[in-house]
Amino acid sequence: VGLLALGALLVVVRLVRLQVLKAKYSILWLTVGA
């Protein structure tokens, strides 16, 4: 159970990091475009 929980946590962290990167890039593109 511990390993499964740890793996799920890592997956969630990776997804969150990807979303944050997408948000940062979208903001950068908006500022550059504007």
29 pLDDT more than 90 = yes
pLDDT at 17: 98
Mean of pLDDT values over 8-32: 96
Write the single-letter amino acid at 28. L
Tokens 């940062």 correspond to 24
Angle (nearest 5°) at CA 6 between 10 and 3 = 140
Record the pTM.
Answer: 0.60
Mean of pLDDT values over 7-29: 97
Domain ranges of the chain: 1-34
pLDDT at 9: 97
